Amino acid sequence: MSGQPVRAAALPHLYAAATRDLTAADFFGYQNSASFVSGDKVDTVAHDHYARALILKSCGSSDPQLRTNVSLNARHFPGFKYITFTIGVSDSDYPNTQATFTATADGQTVFRATLHHGRIAQRVTLALGQTGVFNLYAVETQGVCANVVVGEPTVTVARPSVPLPAPARSPRSLTRDDFYGYQNDASFLNHDSTVEVGGDRYDRAIDLHSCGSSDPQLRSNVSLHTGRVRGYRSITFNLGISDTENPGTQATFAVATDGRTVYKTALTQNRIAKPVSFAIGKTGVFNFYAVETKGVCAHVIVGNPTAQP
């Protein structure tokens, strides 16, 4: 059988299953830092964990001989109709990293997307049809290098669908584990370390400790993947500067949804906290960050963050 095409009769077990997880051995032509990993070695994307994934590490070259890519022979999966996977930039990459992911079928481009660090992974479903070989490749377009994660590639008989979540019925207090990507002195305070803003005490709060840098790689920030709050309609919290700061301390607080700034406000120490609410809608990732604008440093407090039904 060596060198011969794999025929349906040689793989009768494939027809019995509705899905089949793809593994390292199913792909070929791993080129220029392309690899297949599983378990603890898999990078996360917007805090989503994957049991197995292709990692396409690219450092900028679009030369077909140098770009990072891997291939799949679609004829090895008779009876299946689709290949599905997620794609995104690894959380381990620098903020603002971007990359372009492309899929070709027998040399023809069938899918292309620009990926951004910090965004929720995209679900991709491609029809196998009469395709012989799929080629998947990535090119870093902004940053030093980009690790594109192709999460949990699977072949299926039916087109995958995502069920809608049941509506939530009561508010849920968000905790340390609901947020991720704590960066540059961002932390979560709980009952052991209460904090006050304008004389009001909070026993749950994000503390964004900023000392002035607006550089995305240096500013104090934290993120929330809305997959943690599926079924909820909005996020609420109270916002202000800690009462422990020097009088006159000022800071700017901002919120980005999927990389787009949707809220920005100036804060001053010794003022009552501002109530803030954001509709979740179709947002994938909320990013909260603070920049100190007057004073030595500022502790911006995001008090009692809560998911609302």
Are residue 119 and residue 228 in the same domain, yes or no? no
pLDDT at residue 220, rounded to an integer: 85
Residue 13, both tokens:
């077990």
Does the structure show a pLDDT above 80 at 266?
Answer: yes
Q: Are 279 and 262 in contact (CB under 8 A)?
A: no
Does the structure show a pLDDT above 80 at 106?
Answer: yes
Tokens 């020097």, located at residue: 246
Give the model confidence (pLDDT) of 134-167 as tens digits.
Answer: 999 998 787 778 999 999 999 999 888 777 778 8
Instruction: Tell me the residue type at 1.
Output: M
Distances (CA, A) of 229 to 24, 144, 171, 264, 306: 33, 33, 10, 23, 10
Residue 161: inside a domain: no
Residue 285: inside a domain: yes
CATH code assigned at 64: 2.60.120.1060
Residue 258: inside a domain: yes
Are residue 144 and residue 191 in the same domain, yes or no? no
Q: Which of 126-130, 246-250, 261-265, 284-288 has the lowest mean pLDDT?
A: 246-250
pLDDT at residue 62, rounded to an integer: 62
Residue 2: inside a domain: no
- Domain finish residue from 105, 126, 156: 156
Question: Residue 39's CB: how many other CB atoms inside 10 A?
Answer: 8
C-alpha–C-alpha distance, residues 22 and 154, integer Å: 5
Residue bearing the bigger pLDDT, 5 or 250: 250
Q: Mean of the pLDDT values across residues 253-279? A: 93
Are residue 139 and residue 176 in the same domain, yes or no? no
Quick one: three-class SS letters along 182-236? EECCEEEECCCCCEEECCEEECCEEEEEECCCCCCCCCEEEEEEHHHHCCCCEEE
pLDDT at residue 61, rounded to an integer: 63
Residue 255, both tokens:
């919120």
- Averaged confidence pLDDT in the chain: 87
Are residue 130 and residue 184 in the same domain, yes or no? no
Distances (CA, A) of 247 to 193, 268, 294, 303: 22, 9, 10, 20
Does the structure show a pLDDT above 70 at 215?
Answer: no
Are residue 90 and residue 193 in the same domain, yes or no? no
Distances (CA, A) of 32 to 61, 164, 205: 10, 39, 44
- Domain finish residue from 156, 183, 206: 156
pLDDT band at residue 2 under the 50/70/90 scheme:
very low
Are residue 297 and residue 262 in the same domain, yes or no? yes
Cβ-in-10-Å burial (0-12, 13-18, 19+) of 36 comes to: buried
C-alpha–C-alpha distance, residues 74 and 214, integer Å: 47
Does the structure show a pLDDT above 50 at 122?
Answer: yes
Percent of the chain residues topping a pLDDT of 70: 88
Q: Mean of the pLDDT values across residues 195-222? A: 83
Are residue 12 and residue 101 in the same domain, yes or no? yes
Tally of domains in the chain: 2
Are residue 209 and residue 290 in the same domain, yes or no? yes
Are residue 205 and residue 114 in the same domain, yes or no? no
Are residue 146 and residue 34 in the same domain, yes or no? yes
Q: Which of 13-27, 190-204, 295-309 has the lowest mean pLDDT?
A: 13-27
pLDDT at residue 7, rounded to an integer: 38
pLDDT band at residue 218 under the 50/70/90 scheme:
low
Q: Give this prediction's pTM.
A: 0.77
pLDDT at residue 210, rounded to an integer: 84
Residue 129, both tokens:
């049809």
Does the structure show a pLDDT above 60 at 13?
Answer: no
Residue 288: inside a domain: yes
Quick one: three-class SS letters along 173-196? ECCHHHEEEEECCEEEECCCCCEE
Nearest to 124 by CA among 88, 92, 100, 164: 88
Highest averaged pLDDT of the listed ranges 80-94, 178-192, 215-229: 80-94
Residue 226: inside a domain: yes
Are residue 177 and residue 96 in the same domain, yes or no? no
Are residue 245 and residue 303 in the same domain, yes or no? yes
Give the model confidence (pLDDT) of 16-31 as tens digits.
Answer: 469 999 999 999 999 8
pLDDT band at residue 189 under the 50/70/90 scheme:
confident
3-state secondary structure of 76: helix
Residue ranges making up the domain that contains 82: 8-156
C-alpha–C-alpha distance, residues 135 and 67, integer Å: 12
